A and B are shown apart, each in its own frame.
Chain A
Amino acid sequence: MRISQRVYRLFLRIYPAEFRVRHETDMVEMFRDGLRDRRETGRSLMGLWWKAVRDLVVTGLAMRFSRATQNSGRSTHTYENRQRRRRTRVWRNGVEEALVDARFAIRTLLRNKGFATVAVLTIALGIGANSAIFSVVSSVLMRPLPYRDAPRLVVVWTRFTNDNQPTFPVSPAEYIDYRAETSAFEDMGAFGTSTATVTDDDGAERIGVASVTASLVDVLGHRAAVGRTIGVEEDRPGAGRFVVLSHGYWTRHFGADPRVVGTQLRMDGADLEIIGVMERGTALPGASVDVMVPSQFDRAGITNRSGHWLTVIARLAPGSTIEGATAELDLMLAGWADVYAGQHTPEPTRHPMKLVALDDQILGDVRPAMFVLVGAVGLVLLLVCTNVANLLLARGESRRREIGVRTALGAGRARIAKQLLTESVMLAVVGGVVGLLLGTVGVDLLLKMDPGGIPRLSEVSLDARVATFTAAVSIATGILFGVLPAAGAARIDVAAMLNTEGRSETMGRSGSRTLSGLAVAQVALAVVLLIGSGLLIKSFSYLQRVNPGFVSEHRLAFDVSLPSRSYPEREDVLGYYDAITSEIAALPGVSSVALVRNLPMRTSSRTEGMLIEGKQIGPNEEALSIQYQGASPGYFSTLGIPVLRGRAFLDSDRLGAPPVAVINESARRAYWGDENPVGTRIYAIWAGRDYDWITVVGVVGDVRQSGLSAATRPEIYLPAAQTPPLSFGWIRNASIVVSASVEPESLFPVVRAAVGRIDQSIPVVNLQSFERVVADTLLRDRFFTMLLSIFAAAALIIASVGVYGVIAFSVARRTKEIGIRMALGAQQQQLLREVLGAAAKMAGVGATVGLAVALVTSRVLESQLYGVSVRDVYVFASAAGVLVIVALAAALLPALRASRVDPVTSLRES
């Protein structure tokens, strides 16, 4: 309802300002009453919109004209009026002329309803698609981020150069030291995310938690809607346990009751005081959290400099740049190398810092895809323009006599050109209004298809910027496609024109050339779009066929998380996992159950360092980087991951037994080469100094851990039961995978019940069939592929209509000529060939131009493609082929018509 009203209010801009100011509120009210009535009586809203738009256009235009022409209107007969007219003529001439043109244009267009409808609808489609895409782009890319003075915010990452991780979180010790020792930043804040279980009378719920520093609240400019945010007082070590709710969580969980401030929230078994609620729209970059708690870092108590889990956001000091700040950080790190010698600490070569502007961080990923969409939809609009230009030009040709007469009667060429231009702008403006309406529908559709993973998509709406954009595009469109016919009209030779006895059987050479030129342009544009969507479709089908390295059919997975309060010791945690795995395994329809720390496709593993016994590991004694995973004995068989050498884990690989590990095929290739890794020993740096050497007992197949399109990396699995003490905290958050012999969805309720039987306070989170997990990773690719394919399909249709139009037009003009030739003995087949040949020539030239353009431009798709070259020969060839075939098919009808011309009838007609 609100969006309808907003659109309606937008449309009211048709009216003169003073009328609008006075009646806008009433009219919107009245429109709303109408909406309500319709809704109550269950009648369709389309009817109301149709009437409203008609009303707006008719009365709006009428008022604008009558206002400007009221002095030259009907009462021209009095002397006074004549005088007044004369006085105003000099400065009014332009306006008056434009209005006369406009009225004439409306009348002309109304007389040619078919033509006007087709043109308006075509333009509306082009403009509608453009405003929908522009709405998305404007909200996602152009609207400022919801942080105070966002352009000066940067994300501070660390890096490990021996590893491919471009960005890595920062450890608390590093963060505190940066904050204390740099001057390039006004201030710095940090947050880390985790999950926690909230328990109340209704049961248990898993929520997202961010632990934030007080300085972060200030850096981002967060404000509280109710109560207060986390301040310096709350962030002091030992200050107590506080929590601030997100607006969404407050609304969802507490029904937006302000009295909740001051009460307690029971989270992971502890009571936290709710001190406030964040403003609506408050966000943390790249994280979605339900509550925030103060970090309460105690620098004195932090001895370990590793443990990277903080996202650090800094505000550049006035006048300082990313480059300057990076240089300062490097200088500082060089000094640290001595201060913290022997400790894990950042330094400029192997463990440097990296600053990324916040908007690049959030939007960097989607920007290229968005620009591709804008480009594609722009091409569609260009196609629309050429198509309408084609229509207008063809019509202009048949209006040559009318124009000739008017020229003979003394109308200047500029005057006539202006009038034709007015006609096309008029078409474009009406098309624009309808297009805006289509755009609102389009935005709704886009939001419904929300693939996830596109930042800020939920904030998309039509706004003033979009309306301005649409208006600009409409007018530009009008000028763009009006200019050719207008230029054509200005060149008409009047004498020649009128001499043909009101008939112009043959078209001017230049006219027909322009027409074919436009058709060629359409074919070329369509080829470009078709190639783009073809590349995406091919890449998408590759992605779908990528072997993930495991079996996803008939598998389901969910997450559990054990609070350290109720599960303090290793035995408690492992005991719980044993209990739920055997409880679930006993369910009918379940074949096997296993535990894994990082579920494939959903969470990537942690990068860690390891050493291989007896191996030279490079000049810098650099550790080999490896992804660390924990799994229970049944994991590989449950997910169907093949064991290539040696063995999988056994139940006997428990604490106290000799530590073992299984590596993946990538690790074997990268670090062992031709040697057999089974039986060799490795040292896990993350496990701590006094942890044993670990024996590799097996090699398993690669699993696409971080998504189908991400390369597999060297990975090491340790048995969950042998998780080294230092990383033990991590195993509290794990995923359970279940292999089922029935449809996975049918097991959801019994699995929930089984987990509940073991411990009511542990919620089942993200319960999904594994096929769904895999499909979800493809949603974004699917979204872009689908949109681009829709544009390509539209392009194909428009281009074929264009080719059809040109051929049909030329056949119609040449009917007499064809008739004569048939009378002189020309064969039907020959004519058919001739017409089709003309179409083939147009399509061929267009396809060639399109291929050339695509060769240059397809590179913009590079980041969106997987396993397909941006110059894939097959895609290029098929796109061109499809276009030529479609063009020939479009020409077939007029060609048949030409071959069936009856010489007698066609000659008698003249």
Chain B
Amino acid sequence: MRPSPTDPESYLPLKPGTFLVLLVLSSEELHGYGLKKEVARRSEGRIDMEPGMLYRLMARLVDQELIVEADRRPLPDQDDERRRYYRITQLGRDVVSREAHRMVQLSQTADVRALAHAHD
């Protein structure tokens, strides 16, 4: 079912890639390649987004109004003007913080902790 724009909960759970993209965008506006690198860094190289995957995701997030294309660009001499930058929306922020909350909650449950310790 299509998530409702008024209810952040309906977007959850997020896929790891989606979560990371929103997380990265909630602290800065970025273009495609910057996002790819930042996502790779935060996931310690486990999530490597190729152009097709990334822009397909971006198109979907824009459709769902979680992000928008930024109209503001960095100073012209700082970067290539042709690049499209993305910015997170208020809804996006809500969604990513609910997800974070959900994860924290999840990690606090006793059985999850037990499982995590079993891994140590």
Contacts and interface: CB of A to CB of B under 8 A. Distances in A.
B52 A29 contact: no
B53 A30 contact: no
B41 interface: no
Interface stretch (B17-25, B29-37, B92-100, B101-109): B29-37
A303 interface: no
Interface string A22-65: 11011101110110000000000000000110111011101100
A22 B60 CA distance: 13
Q: Range of interface residues on chain B?
A: 10 to 19
Nearest to A31: B51
B52 A26 contact: no
B56 A63 contact: yes
B83 A52 contact: no
B2 to A, nearest CB: 8
Question: Chain A contact residues: over half helix, strand or loop, or mixed?
Answer: helix
A23 B59 contact: yes
A75 interface: yes
Contacts of B36: 30
Contacts of A15: 52
B59 A26 contact: no
A26 B56 contact: no
Contacts of A30: 32-33, 36, 51, 54
A15 B59 CA distance: 13
Given A27-B32, A29-B32, A30-B36, A55 B82 contact: no
B33 to A, nearest CB: 4
Nearest to B52: A59
Contact of B31 (A26, A51, A59, A62): A26
A60 B52 contact: yes
Interface in A237-263: none
A874 interface: no
Contacts of B44: none
Contacts of B55: 19, 23, 26-27
B77 interface: no
B80 interface: yes
Nearest to A22: B59
Contacts of B82: 25, 29
A51 B1 CA distance: 32
A414 to B, nearest CB: 35
A27 B80 contact: no
A528 B31 CA distance: 56
Nearest to B69: A22
Interface in B55-114: 55-56, 58-59, 80, 82-84
A52 B48 CA distance: 11
B84 A26 contact: yes
Contact of B53 (A26, A31, A33, A59): A59
A34 B36 CA distance: 10
Contact of B80 (A19, A29, A34, A62): A29
Given A29-B80, A29-B83, A55 B59 contact: no
Contacts of B58: 23
B64 to A, nearest CB: 14
Most buried by B among A15, A29, A51, A54: A29
B27 to A, nearest CB: 21
A19 to B, nearest CB: 6
Given A19-B59, A23-B59, A29 B33 contact: yes
B50 interface: yes
Contacts of B48: 51
Contact of B32 (A26, A58, A63): A26
Contacts of B53: 55, 58-59
Nearest to A60: B52
B80 to A, nearest CB: 7
A625 B88 CA distance: 87
A56 B53 CA distance: 8
Contacts of A27: 32, 51-52, 55
Interface in A64-101: 75
Contact of A52 (B32, B50, B59, B80): B50
Most buried by A among B36, B52, B58: B52
A46 to B, nearest CB: 15
B1 A26 contact: no
A15 B58 CA distance: 15
Contacts of B59: 19, 22-23
Nearest to A34: B33
A10 to B, nearest CB: 14
Contacts of A60: 52
Given A29-B32, A30-B51, A59 B80 contact: no
A23 B56 CA distance: 9
Nearest to A24: B55
A535 to B, nearest CB: 48
Given A26-B32, A30-B32, A34-B33, A56 B83 contact: no
Nearest to B2: A75
Given A22-B59, A29-B32, A30-B32, A55 B83 contact: no
A51 B53 CA distance: 11
Contact of B52 (A33, A34, A55): A55
A26 B48 CA distance: 17
Contacts of A63: 56
B56 A59 contact: yes
Contacts of A33: 33
A60 B54 CA distance: 12
A58 B33 contact: no
B48 to A, nearest CB: 8
Contacts of B31: 26, 29
Contacts of A25: 82, 84
Interface string A716-748: 000000000000000000000000000000000
B65 to A, nearest CB: 16
A62 B82 CA distance: 27
A67 to B, nearest CB: 11
B84 A58 contact: no
A621 to B, nearest CB: 77
Nearest to A15: B52
A55 B1 contact: no
Nearest to A14: B52
Nearest to A28: B51
Most buried by A among B31, B32, B54, B55: B55
Nearest to B35: A30
Contacts of A23: 55, 58-59
A51 B50 contact: yes
A22 B84 CA distance: 10
A23 B61 CA distance: 14
Contact of B51 (A22, A52, A62, A75): A52
B37 to A, nearest CB: 9
Interface in B7-24: none
Contact of B1 (A19, A52, A56, A75): A75
A55 B50 contact: yes
A34 to B, nearest CB: 7
B54 to A, nearest CB: 7
B80 A58 contact: no
A70 to B, nearest CB: 11
Contacts of B33: 29-30, 33-34
A26 B34 CA distance: 12
A41 to B, nearest CB: 13
B76 to A, nearest CB: 16
A19 B55 CA distance: 9
Given A26-B31, A29-B32, A55-B50, 11 more contacts: A15-B52, A19-B56, A22-B59, A23-B58, A26-B83, A29-B83, A30-B54, A31-B51, A52-B50, A52-B51, A60-B52
25 contacts: A15-B52, A19-B55, A19-B59, A23-B58, A25-B82, A26-B32, A26-B55, A26-B84, A27-B52, A29-B31, A29-B33, A29-B83, A30-B36, A30-B54, A33-B33, A34-B33, A51-B48, A51-B50, A56-B50, A56-B52, A58-B52, A59-B50, A59-B52, A59-B53, A63-B56
Q: 6 nearest interchain CB pairs?
A: A55-B50, A59-B52, A27-B51, A33-B33, A55-B52, A23-B55
